[in-house]
């Protein structure tokens, strides 16, 4: 078998066999297939696409390129959630303890933030002492003991995806649907859960700004997940506006705790209730109403918050910071961004707002960049809110005093103010199953 023939076949718009796809993934991961041939095949896939069977084979080959997590030693029903990423998206911190409080097992591996999207692992590491790296046995033991573990992704989880994604990033092939699907699903399948809920974001803060594209992506991922033998569904959720009010690592931990105490922002609470409800629905196949009732009760009676405390303690975190949120370190500087006119907030460029948080130190542009856990943005007014000149739109928190003027200007540019109110936006668009 030759890579030349595989490239030529896809160049001509033909279907690749399972053997050809696996040959490419194995060869590129091991280094026998050079970058220039891999890049040629990726570009051919970009232009001609792949059918569902090809995409599933590519996904499984990428998943099998490294460690496949076997969760059979975990007693009970396992469930996982994956978000396509957003600004202020702290849902994993809330839904994982919420679902675990209801008796389901959440063995979750999460990523770090890069660019304008935040990472669950970074947020957890803002809790002093919290360990995001556990050996496999401790990971399993924790899930069996308290029903939940939230850790960083294994270094050997779908290594083919890591190599292929890096090449896609420099060859203008990131936007290929089968390549996006295989990248996301290979890691989820390798992570081992039988039940998977996908949170597919749509809007200015996501990589699928158009609803039709988001639905198409969700449908493809669900189809591939089913072909790979998983019980899977996807929820399409709004990322035209940052989720909740807090952007930044320790700030988002605080806000997650508020939601878990049933005292958080309405939009974040609603999205988390819906995601948790459908995770429970996948595990039980009970009615939506029954699942939602159980989720809401876990927030009201404190069991969800207590489960988060259990998680923090079990993974070495200082739980005093969860019990007294004022203990989290504060930045040296804060600055209020004021409205320049009366009117309504008509729209928010969520990606641009996420990039402001990067300027403040809350994220990283390159993987080796360090993060200021205390930096971030607190949003006081969001899309649809009526505002007056001089009203505080947001407060910026940073230890970089020299960046405040530029950050203020960029935030103002990201918020469009109009004399008329915008149409009300949905938080949840649809379920794909």
Nearest CA among 125, 93, 101, 129 for reference residue 112: 125
What DSSP designation does 262 have? T
E-only strand ranges, 146-304: 148-152, 195-202, 231-238, 246-247
Pairing of strands 231-238, 195-202: parallel
Residue 215, H or E segment: helix 211-227
Catalytic residue list contains 82: yes
- Chain centroid to Cα 176, Å, comes to 19
- Chain centroid to Cα 206, Å, comes to 10
Distance CA(274)–CA(276), nearest Å, equals: 5
Beta bridge partners of residue 337, listed in sequence order: 394
Of 105, 112, 187, 230, which residue is the catalytic one?
187
Edge-first strand order for the sheet with 428-432 is 79-83, 195-202, 231-238, 428-432
Would you tell me how many other CB atoms lie within 10 Å of the CB of residue 228? 18
Cβ neighbours for 405, distance < 8 A, ≥ 6 positions apart: none
Of 110, 183, 250, 357, which residue is the catalytic one?
183
Nearest CA among 154, 60, 159 for reference residue 109: 154
Of 105, 108, 123, 168, which residue is the catalytic one?
168
Query: Does residue 383 contact residue 341 with C-beta atoms inside 8 Å?
Result: no
Of 161, 199, 240, 267, which residue is the catalytic one?
161
Query: Does residue 80 contact residue 90 with C-beta atoms inside 8 Å?
Result: no
What DSSP designation does 390 have? T
- Chain centroid to Cα 411, Å, comes to 23
Catalytic residue list contains 183: yes
Distance CA(221)–CA(15), nearest Å, equals: 19
Of 10, 22, 81, 82, which residue is the catalytic one?
82
Coil vs helix vs strand at 173:
coil
Distance CA(259)–CA(272), nearest Å, equals: 9
Q: Which two tokens stand for residue 213?
A: 């594209």
Catalytic residue list contains 163: no
Catalytic residue list contains 161: yes
Q: Which two tokens stand for residue 31?
A: 């280094």
What is the SS3 string spanning 62-126?
HHCCCCCCCCCCCCCCEEEEEECCCCCCCHHHHHHHHHHHCCCEEEEEECCCECCECCHHHHHHC
- Could you list the active site residues? 82, 161, 168, 183, 187
């Amino acid at each position: 078998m030759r890579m030349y023939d595989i490239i030529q076949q896809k160049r001509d718009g033909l279907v690749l066999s399972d053997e050809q796809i696996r040959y490419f993934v194995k060869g590129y991961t091991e280094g026998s297939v050079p970058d220039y041939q891999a890049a040629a095949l990726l570009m051919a896939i970009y232009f001609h696409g792949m059918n569902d069977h090809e995409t599933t084979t590519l996904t499984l080959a990428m998943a099998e390129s490294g460690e496949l997590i076997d969760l059979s030693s975990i007693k009970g029903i396992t469930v996982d959630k994956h978000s396509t990423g957003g600004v202020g998206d702290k849902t994993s911190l809330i839904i994982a303890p919420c679902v675990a409080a209801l008796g389901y097992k959440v063995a979750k591996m999460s990523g770090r933030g890069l660019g304008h999207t935040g990472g669950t692992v970074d947020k957890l590491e803002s809790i002093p002492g919290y360990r995001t790296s556990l050996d496999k046995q401790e990971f399993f033991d924790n899930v069996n003991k308290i029903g939940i573990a939230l850790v960083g992704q294994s270094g050997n989880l779908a290594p083919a995806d890591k190599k292929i994604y890096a090449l896609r990033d420099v060859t203008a092939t990131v936007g290929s649907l089968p390549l996006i699907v295989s990248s996301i699903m290979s890691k989820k399948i390798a992570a081992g859960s039988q039940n998977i809920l996908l949170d597919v974001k749509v809007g200015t803060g996501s990589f699928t700004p158009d609803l039709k594209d988001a639905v198409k992506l969700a449908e493809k991922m669900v189809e591939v997940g089913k072909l790979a033998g998983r019980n899977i569904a996807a929820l399409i959720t709004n990322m035209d506006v940052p989720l909740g009010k807090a952007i930044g690592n320790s700030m988002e931990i605080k806000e997650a705790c508020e939601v878990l105490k049933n005292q958080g922002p309405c939009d974040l609470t609603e999205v988390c209730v819906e995601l948790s409800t459908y995770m429970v629905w996948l595990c039980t196949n009970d009615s939506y109403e029954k699942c939602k009732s159980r989720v809401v009760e876990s927030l009201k009676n404190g069991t969800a918050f207590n489960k988060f405390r259990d998680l923090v303690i079990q993974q070495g975190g200082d739980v005093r910071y969860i019990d007294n949120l004022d203990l989290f370190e504060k930045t040296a500087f804060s600055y209020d961004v004021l409205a320049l006119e009366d009117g309504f907030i008509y729209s928010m460029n969520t990606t641009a707002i996420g990039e402001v948080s990067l300027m403040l130190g809350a994220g990283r542009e390159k993987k080796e960049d360090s993060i200021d856990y205390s930096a971030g943005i607190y949003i006081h007014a969001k899309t649809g809110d009526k505002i007056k000149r001089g009203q505080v739109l947001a407060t910026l928190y940073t230890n970089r005093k020299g960046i405040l003027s530029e950050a203020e200007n960029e935030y103002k540019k990201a918020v469009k103010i109009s004399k008329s109110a915008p149409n009300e936006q949905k938080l949840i668009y649809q379920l794909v199953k």
